[in-house]
Amino acid sequence: MVKVCSLFSGSSGNCIFVSYNDTAILIDAGVSGRRIEAALASIGESFDKIAGIFITHEHSDHICGAGILSRRHNVPIYANPTTWMAMRSSLGKLKTDFVRYIDLDGSVTVGGITVKPFPIPHDAACPVGYNIFVNNKKLTIATDIGHMDNELLTNLEKSEMILLESNHDVEMLKTGRYPWPLKQRILGDHGHLCNDIAGQIVAHLAKKGTKKFLLGHLSKENNFPELAYQTVCNALMEMQINPKKDVYLEVALRDRVSNIMYI
């Protein structure tokens, strides 16, 4: 059985825990090392099982704890070569052997967990989401998505569980206090996914058979969990999918550990 837990998910930091048997990985490490260690302890885990930290892209809310955790716990960091070039100077001194590369058309297997990246549209050097395969089950982590296209949607389909970005409410963003250039960035094709589009994608994936959904990477300023959840519920109900019975839907919390999921 696969254990999945969002330790942190939001514009202020991201870290996802995935384990199978005696092996575990982290997807991103975007808060302090101590906060990640405390979050792991709160779900009965420690770094003893962590076999790798997989980075989606170089923005600070995805990498700021990675370097210190690698040094403190002797854990390798995986990323594609372009992302490594963009983030290398931000991670501090690392053991050469802990700088691991994972190509866009490749995959890495640690323990019984296989991790395969896929490209996403975001304003970073070479951003990716990850498909995670364990015992013929597929899990997907997909945040920081500027827009959805058919290739990306194909990478999301046929997952048992998906953590999908639901970053902002468009009207909250437009009328909020962010400067206009930042609003344009978030709303652009390489920005972030809004609640309405997330709802459409979740409904589509539910129709295709995905049963478990986490809504992640919520903005602190331009969203709140209840709004993201209800917007996606409305999209599901429009497709005659009962969000309370037909699927499991939850919001990954921005600043603390979310509920543990077992797949």
Region(s) of the chain under CATH 3.60.15.10: 1-109
The predicted structure's pLDDT at residue 127: 98
Average pLDDT of the chain is 96
The predicted structure's pLDDT at residue 215: 98
- Phi then psi dihedrals of residue 180, to 5 deg: -60, -40
The predicted structure's pLDDT at residue 89: 95
Mean pLDDT over 54-60 rounds to 98
Q: What is the pLDDT of residues 18-36, one digit of tens each?
A: 999 999 999 999 999 999 9
% of the chain residues with pLDDT over 70: 100
The predicted structure's pLDDT at residue 20: 96
Residue 179 to residues 59, 85, 173, 222: CA-CA distances in angstroms?
20, 30, 10, 13
Q: Has residue 11 got a pLDDT over 90?
A: no
Q: What is the pLDDT of residues 124-173, one digit of tens each?
A: 999 999 999 999 999 999 999 999 999 999 999 999 999 999 999 999 99
What class, spelled out in words, does domain 1-109 have in CATH?
A: alpha beta
